């Protein structure tokens, strides 16, 4: 089959899956913003995206795209190294017209993968997977996304890991976005500068939003009043928003 056997076909598939993953990352950062604006609304979204058939179908499609993207990126990288042969050892510095991210996409991708593994363990495994098994992580309902955010970001190292992951994601997205369109045939002096600019702006907005959300989640998870107020939401005994006063929280729980 052309898409899987030819180098051009592999690049096309990797480009399409990469653009698909960029769209998902954009959706994800917007969904996280709901957790700041309305924690109860975020929990409603988490409940909607639980162990329903459409959520599971979406998870499988996302996982398939992610795995295909990784496998093809490794294959293409190894093919490129093999094609260069001994010439690869003759290059002591990066050519002026080659981006740093371009030469380190595999390394950046590995960092992003490690970051995603941590993310899956902290959230997907404790939420959708637990719901599928009919169990709960501790005493937390699998659909209580806010409680899992507080649990994860109550540890300072979580924010550090995420910021490193966001930095790698920025480099990966800025190069991967325009490179994907280049592989799909959009390679001319008119559109490439526009796509490079779009990639930088898009990746910067997404990664800054992710970083800000991580900082907010960390501050909220380590705020005594926030923790006391959040107990209402965790116990499903009120609609108290984080950082309301403890008195208001207790009043709503009565």
The alpha carbon of residue 112 and the mean position of all alpha carbons in its chain are separated, in whole angstroms, by 8
What six digits make up the tokens of 33?
């913003």
What six digits make up the tokens of 16?
């399409």
Q: What is the DSSP string of 126-181?
A: TTHHHHHHT--BTTB-TT-HHHHHHHHHTSHHHHHHHHHHHHHHHHHHHHHHHHHH
Q: List pLDDT tens digits, range 143-158.
A: 889 999 999 999 989 9
Q: Which domains does the chain have, with CATH numbers?
A: 2-89+98-222 (1.20.1300.10)
Task: Quote the CA–CA distance of 184 and 17 in Å, as a whole number.
Answer: 12
Q: Is 73 exposed, middle or buried (0-12, 13-18, 19+ CB in 10 A)?
A: buried
Q: What is the pLDDT averaged over residues 111-135?
A: 90
**Residues in Cβ contact with 245 at an 8 Å cutoff, skipping those fewer than 6 apart:** 225, 229
Q: How confident is the model at residue 166 (pLDDT cuts 50, 70, 90)?
A: very high
| 108 touches 172 (CB < 8 A) | yes
Q: List pLDDT tens digits, range 1-27.
A: 545 567 778 888 999 999 999 999 999
Q: What is the pLDDT averaged over residues 98-110?
A: 75
| 99 touches 152 (CB < 8 A) | no
The answer to whether the pTM exceeds 0.85 is no
């Amino acid at each position: 089959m052309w898409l899987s056997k030819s180098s051009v076909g592999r690049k096309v598939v990797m480009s399409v899956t990469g653009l698909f993953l960029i769209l998902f990352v954009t959706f994800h950062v917007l969904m996280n913003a709901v957790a700041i604006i309305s924690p109860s609304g975020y929990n409603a979204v988490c409940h909607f995206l639980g162990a329903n058939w459409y959520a599971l179908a979406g998870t499988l499609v996302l996982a398939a795209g992610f795995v295909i993207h990784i496998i093809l990126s490794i294959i293409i990288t190894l093919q490129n190294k093999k094609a260069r042969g001994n010439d690869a050892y003759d290059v002591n510095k990066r050519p002026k017209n080659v981006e740093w991210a371009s030469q380190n996409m595999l390394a950046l991708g590995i960092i992003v993968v490690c970051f995603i593994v941590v993310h899956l363990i902290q959230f997907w495994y404790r939420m959708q997977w637990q719901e599928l098994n009919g169990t709960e992580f501790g005493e937390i309902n699998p659909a209580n996304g806010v409680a899992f955010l507080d649990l994860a970001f109550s540890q300072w190292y979580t924010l550090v890991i995420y910021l490193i992951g966001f930095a790698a994601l920025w480099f990966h997205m800025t190069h991967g976005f325009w490179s994907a369109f280049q592989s799909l045939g959009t390679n001319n002096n008119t559109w490439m500068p526009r796509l490079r600019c779009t990639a930088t702006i898009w990746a910067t907005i997404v990664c800054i939003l992710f970083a800000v959300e991580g900082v907010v989640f960390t501050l909220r998870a380590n705020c005594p009043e926030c923790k006391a107020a959040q107990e209402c939401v965790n116990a499903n005994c009120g609609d108290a928003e984080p950082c309301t006063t403890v008195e208001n929280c207790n009043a709503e729980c009565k």
